Amino acid sequence: MGVIRKILGPRSKYDKTLPYTYMARLPIMEQDKNLYEYFFADTICGLVEYLAEHNKNPEETELFGVYQKIEVPLDTKCALSDDGKWLRRPQICKAMEEYFAKTLELRYKGHVFEGECSFEDRNTQGSGPF
C-alpha cells in the first residue's frame, strides 16, 4: 500500500455503491431484546469469520451493510451453510455473489469468488463486541 493509500485508506471505501463497513448486532440478554452488542469488520467475510471464531449464534445475529448514512439489513441466511453454521472464505464470498446474481440487490454487490474482489484492498479483521 502506497503512502497516499495509507493516509486516505482503501480505495473501495470511497465507492458509495459498496458498504463502508459491515456490522453484526446481537442481543446481550435474552430477557431484554433492546440491549445489543455490536461487531464490525470492513468486509462481510471478515465479520462472519470473526463471529464464527467467537461462537456467536447465527439465529440471534442481525447483519448490516453500513453505508455513509444508513444501515442496510442483510439476509443472514446467505452467510450460513445448509446446517446453519457460519460460512468461511471462500464459501461466504461465493454465497454472497450467487445471492447478488439471483436477486440483483446492490447490497450484496462486490463479493467475487472467481476473479477480482471489490474488497481486496480492505482489512478483513473483525472487532467487538462494542
CA atoms of 48 and 9, how far apart (whole Å)? 22
Q: Is residue 69 part of a domain?
A: yes
Q: Is 2 within the bounds of a domain?
A: no
Three-state DSSP class for residue 126: strand
pLDDT at 87: 92
In a domain, 3, yes or no: no
What is the pTM assigned to this prediction?
0.81
- Supply the range of the domain harboring residue 39: 12-123
Q: What is d(CA 38, CA 116) in angstroms, rounded to the nearest whole number?
A: 29
pLDDT (0 to 100) of residue 95: 84
Q: Residue 29: its pLDDT value, please?
A: 79
Identify the residue whose cell numbers are 481486496.
120
Nearest Cα neighbor of 129 from 26, 10, 60, 29 is 26
Full DSSP string of 57-95: -GGG-EEEEE-SS-EEEE-GGGGB-TTSPBP-TTHHHHH
Could you list the mean pLDDT of each consecutive 10-residue stretch along the chain, which spans 130 residues? 56 70 90 86 92 96 91 92 91 82 73 63 86
Q: Maximum distance among all alpha carbons in the chain?
A: 49
What pLDDT does residue 34 have? 82
Question: Total structural domains in the chain?
Answer: 1
pLDDT at 1: 52
51 within a domain of the structure (yes/no): yes
